[in-house]
Amino acid sequence: MKVLAAFAHPDDESLGCGGTLAKYAEQGHEVRILIATSGRADNHDNAKALHRAANILGASAVTLHWPDQALDSVMLIHINRSVERLVESFKPEIVFTHHQDLNRDHQIVREAVLVATRPQSGVKRVLACEIPSSTEVMGGFDPNVFEVLTERHLYLKCKALQEYGPEARPFPHGRSTEALSSLAMWRGVACGEGLAEAFTLVREIR
């Protein structure tokens, strides 16, 4: 099975579904990460950090290099077509992307993914992720799909995030190791398990 994680910024993939990507890779599935922007302009190591993080999760990574926090300056048709081309060439069965939140880059990538994964695309399942320190600001994230994780999956998620340096923050920030561990425990409690990541189902075709 092929799995695609399509997000706006380097680190979104680790925050949103890093444990799940590590789990799928561990099970032998082909996992690819698509990042739309180059990341923060003051962090010139974004591309290398992304590939290191992807390697930790057992995935490959592609960056489109659109401007960070300025995706609304790019014609939407260009972004849509870039995501569509990757979906057409990679042919994933499952796609992870952003849930709605206040970050405009997140919104634009989510919209591009929804265009690229229309029912005719062959994608069977589209899931929206929460990005700690971003999604909860807007509210409205009501998960109905849970992916059970092991301690190792959570460890790999946190280790991948650490590759981004300043993007990982000290507790009590949402991008701290402690916060991510607490969130995984809380999502696990919500589904009767020890650890989990949570998603909202956008579309599923059976």
**In-domain check, residue 160:** yes
Separation CA 34–CA 61 (nearest Å): 6
Separation CA 41–CA 101 (nearest Å): 22
Rg (CA), the chain: 15
**Residue 41: what pLDDT?**
54
Tokens of residue 106, six digits: 């997140």
Separation CA 96–CA 22 (nearest Å): 13
**Residue 168: what pLDDT?**
66
Q: Nearest 10 degrees: CA dihedral of 43, 48, 51, 54?
A: -40
CATH assignment of the domain containing 115: 3.40.50.10320
**Residue 137: what pLDDT?**
86
Tokens of residue 94, six digits: 């499952």
**In-domain check, residue 206:** no
How many helices (DSSP H) and strands (DSSP E) are in the chain?
7, 7
Contact predicate 94/3, CB 8 Å: yes
**Residue 42: what pLDDT?**
53
For residue 73, the tally of other CB atoms under 10 A from its CB is 8
Closest CA to 175 of 128, 136, 127: 136
Could you report the average pLDDT of every consecutive run of 10 residues in the chain (206 residues)?
97 97 98 90 72 97 91 94 97 97 95 96 97 88 97 97 79 83 97 98 96
Separation CA 160–CA 178 (nearest Å): 14
**In-domain check, residue 46:** yes
Residue range of the domain that includes 134: 2-201
Strand locations in 41-195, DSSP E?
A: 60-66, 94-98, 125-129, 145-148
The tally of domains found in the chain comes to: 1
